Amino acid sequence: MPHDGSAGAGLPQPDAAGAGLPQPETAGAGLPQPETAGAGLPQPDAAGAGVSDTSVPPEAETPVGVRALAFAGAASAVLYVPDADSDDLRSVETAGHAPAEYGLLERVALSGGSPAARAFRARRPLWLTPAALGSCPEGSPAPPRARTSLGALPLVTGGRRLGCLVVGAGENGFEAEQQHFLERYADTVADVLAGEAGTGGGRPPARLSSALRRMRVGSFVLVPETGVLDADETLRELFGIDPDDFDGTADSVLARALPEDLPALMSVLEPSTGASGRRRLDFRVRCPTGEMRWLSLSCRVAAGAGDRPEQVLGVVTALHRGDDDVSRIQWLTAMLDEATTVRDVSQVMVTALHEFLGADRVALAELQHERLQVTLLDPPQRAAWPRSWRPQWRAEWPDAPLSALPTLRRALRDGRMGLWPASTAFEPGLDGIGPGGLAVLPLPAKGEAAGACLIGWDRPHEFAPRERSLLTATAALAGQALTRAHAHDAEQELATMLQRSLLPRRLPGLPGGTVVARYLPARRGLQVGGDWYDVIALSEDRVALVIGDVQGHSAAAATIMGQMRTAVRAYAVEGHPPDVVVSHANRLLVGMETDLFATCCYAELDMDEGDVLFVRAGHVAPLLRHPDGSAEEVQVEGGLPLGISMDADFPMTAVALAPGMMLALVTDGLVEAADLSLDEGMRRARATLAKADPADPGRVADDLLGDRGRREDDVALLLLRYDGMKTRPVRSGWVVWRLPDAVMHARRFTARTLRRWKVEEATDAVLLVVSELVTNALVHTQGPVRLELVLRGDRVRVCVSDSSPRAPAKPVIVDWESTGGRGLLLVEAVSESFGTVPVAGGKQVCSEIAVPGREPASVGAGPGVEGGDRS
């Protein structure tokens, strides 16, 4: 910044009352008023102090214009454009002090020797000291401002010369940082001018202020004693502060800073007594969207009586990567800190090396067991890389043995960076990566090489000393990040294996329906959570659909999830009704004495009749799509989540399904988030389900998931399309009395039923099975016995239920002289299938007998029955 011998150079000089500084308490404070347009801008010297500028129109300035230009060292700025009616440059906009005080005229000849004309013709910036200005034939400041400096910056875009920007400062001129900022500012002004072409007439906009806003330069005035902060709109945008959330205090700004950068920022914004002069700080803020942003703050502390800081004036800009090596390393450090996976680290490195060094090729590889496992290649096309890599190209990237790359192996062994100029001959494994220059960077971590980075240029590239330092620092940061990311990836892989082992590997094919499932882990922390789903085949025509969610995202949540899924499945296959299954699971979780609870939705479906019994324990309601395209939430009576109370009640709700309906069971991760209420999420899910094409359940499930982006929670989804049974089964039942002739009555009932069904061909085999099963139930069990016959297609199903949970045992050896023990062997011999299933209060022994000459049943009413789809 300029130094003219005064402590406050480049900033307004306060007196005891704080005069000359913008006052945030008053409207328009900190802005030049029409009567004193130069107030608040840097004074070029003491000689002209107090000179007013009545030529600056009120609309020529905005808060951002005055404050930002002041910190760029510019006391006056004039925008010149070519005059369409003459061979001149004419002034169309000014800012700050009167241009005449710096010898800046309203018009200058294009062919003259003024700084504006010379810069316009040469198409390059001119930075003129007082001595250089003294030799100018025109455009030199007249006394008393003879000891001033000027900068003339041509405005050029797309090869077109649009004008010239001239800025004035004190006798010490502009520092390199200020020159860099003003050159970027001039480029932006040129873009603003170019954008005006063809917009028609009317009053031209304030180009100088528009350019500053486009550059996103924010400004502020802070009163440290009260914490009152006058911040313009651009500054609030840079910090990601909504206007409605800004309370006019410094705390609103400090709350956005990253914790590790907060102490340095507070030391600047809360200066101690005696602190004065200019300060600069680069820091990071976290926006509400989660984006981390680098900002650069430049400020000036103005002290009052007793050297107490009265005001802090400053500007904030977005820190551009590549401004300097320090900024580059700061940005790279921050980005690698955000990268969690090996893929993320590789992508950050590729981006950095392309931007920092203009590299044409970048390859990043991990070193694993003497082999290079390439994690990222840019560009990704095979043709851009050595031919020897192509035969080993697997799936996405090559896996090259280190022995085939002696140059790289030597660099990894020695741990030294290798830089080779253009036209260096390499082994075939490296040939063509960098014809204009090749850099091989070992990536050190914990005393050994974690991997390697290859950087290639197509055109001849000179390795400057500063590039060597930058590459060394980059390699060290990348090696540490790669090691950390590899450990993270290994942890995530273990978590994924754990999650997959706890969820069903495949879903069963259902008669009369299709079921699909989807599961997505949360994209934060350990990607293992408590969401689960299951499809349990209870019998040939009954199935249970289960979905649940254990609180939390941790190994503990996953462990509880696995136990709950196993428990629910065990209770279900025992034959308990839905309310008993959920009640048993609740008592189990309460007895485990864990701090975690779980929600669950259990649905038992009769595939023949389409009847569903729902039980909901604290879970979101299921969704139902009707054949006409409408969708609704199923009104299922709810109970407490599992694990809350031992005596919780879980009522059942009955719902009838018709062919063509789709049932969706979801977890709250699908319909609720920090920025999405549960009601709105359910509304969106219903709308998506209504618009979906039921012909493809898998596509419907994917549509419901949508683009989840950065997921805060696990997402589980279970979707059933109910097609119904094309051939409805025929049923008939009989309660067996415990009388001496009970088996005779059972046989007579069976014979009558078979004649009514016109399947007499199977009578002998069916009567044999009925006799044996009923006899066993009466002899070996107590309580009621029930016989049920079912005809479906070409099969007659015989089911005998009793109150004993013990399955019938077949004898291992039957003696020739034995008078019994052969019944189950005979049943098994004449049956197409035979087995036992548990039911509530006992068991059911079932046998299926084929009916000769009948067509087999077709189970699906739709286009066909698919197997389960799980992803």
Residues 253, 79: Cα–Cα separation, whole Å: 34
Phi and psi dihedrals of 539, rounded to 5? -160, -170
Question: Looking at residue 163, what is its pLDDT?
Answer: 92
Whether the Cβ atoms of residue 240 and residue 222 lie closer than 8 Å to each other: no
Instruction: Determine if the pTM surpasses 0.85.
Output: no
Question: Looking at residue 243, what is its pLDDT?
Answer: 80
Q: Angle at the Cα of 743 (from 740 to 747), degrees rounded to 5? A: 145
Question: Looking at residue 385, what is its pLDDT?
Answer: 82
Q: Helix and strand tally (H, E) in the chain? A: 20, 35
Residues 420, 410: Cα–Cα separation, whole Å: 14
Residues with Cβ within 8 Å of 556's Cβ and at least 6 positions away in sequence, in order, are 594, 596
Whether the Cβ atoms of residue 542 and residue 511 lie closer than 8 Å to each other: no
Residues 642, 582: Cα–Cα separation, whole Å: 8
| DSSP assigned state of 843 | E
Residues 29, 52: Cα–Cα separation, whole Å: 18
Q: Angle at the Cα of 299 (from 294 to 303), degrees rounded to 5? A: 150
Sign of CA dihedral 683, 685, 688, 694: negative
| DSSP assigned state of 631 | E
DSSP three-state, residue 263: helix
Kindly report, residue by residue over 258-291, the tens digit of the pLDDT.
877 788 788 777 777 656 666 777 788 887 766 6
Residues 807, 575: Cα–Cα separation, whole Å: 14
Q: Angle at the Cα of 21 (from 15 to 23), degrees rounded to 5? A: 120
Whether the Cβ atoms of residue 545 and residue 605 lie closer than 8 Å to each other: yes
Helix (H) or strand (E) holding 179: helix 176-196
Residues 528, 489: Cα–Cα separation, whole Å: 13
Which residues of the chain are under the pLDDT cut of 70? 1-68, 70-71, 137-146, 197-205, 273-278, 289-291, 306, 319-325, 327, 370, 390-403, 492, 495-496, 498-500, 523-529, 707-712, 810-821, 857-871
Q: Going edge to edge, which strands form the sheet with 361-368?
A: 393-394, 397-401, 371-378, 361-368, 448-457, 437-445, 418-421
Residues 750, 747: Cα–Cα separation, whole Å: 5
Residues 688, 693: Cα–Cα separation, whole Å: 10
In which residue are the tokens 């007082």 written?
A: 130
Residues with Cβ within 8 Å of 477's Cβ and at least 6 positions away in sequence, in order, are 329, 332, 333, 336
Whether the Cβ atoms of residue 625 and residue 659 lie closer than 8 Å to each other: no
- β-bridge partners, 603: 545, 614
Question: Looking at residue 337, what is its pLDDT?
Answer: 76
Q: Going edge to edge, which strands form the sheet with 623-625?
A: 631-633, 623-625, 661-666, 715-722, 513-520, 869-870
In this structure, what token pair is assigned to residue 106? 């309203």
Residues 305, 15: Cα–Cα separation, whole Å: 9
- Among candidates 295, 237, 233, 241, which has minimal Cα distance to 269? 295
Residues with Cβ within 8 Å of 526's Cβ and at least 6 positions away in sequence, in order, are 491, 492, 495, 553, 554, 555
Q: Angle at the Cα of 455 (from 454 to 459), degrees rounded to 5? A: 145
Phi and psi dihedrals of 565, rounded to 5? -60, -45
Whether the Cβ atoms of residue 446 and residue 483 lie closer than 8 Å to each other: yes
Question: Looking at residue 584, what is its pLDDT?
Answer: 93
DSSP three-state, residue 126: strand
Residues 824, 183: Cα–Cα separation, whole Å: 97
Residues 104, 152: Cα–Cα separation, whole Å: 11
Residues 531, 204: Cα–Cα separation, whole Å: 60
Residues 515, 216: Cα–Cα separation, whole Å: 53
Alpha helices in 694-834 (DSSP H): 697-705, 742-757, 763-780, 823-830
DSSP three-state, residue 335: helix
In this structure, what token pair is assigned to residue 865? 């029955």
Longest dimension (CA), the chain: 138
Which stretches does DSSP call E strand in 336-396?
Answer: 361-368, 371-378, 393-394
Q: Which amino acid is at 184?
A: R
In this structure, what token pair is assigned to residue 668? 């709250």
In this structure, what token pair is assigned to residue 748? 């007579």
Helix (H) or strand (E) holding 354: helix 342-357
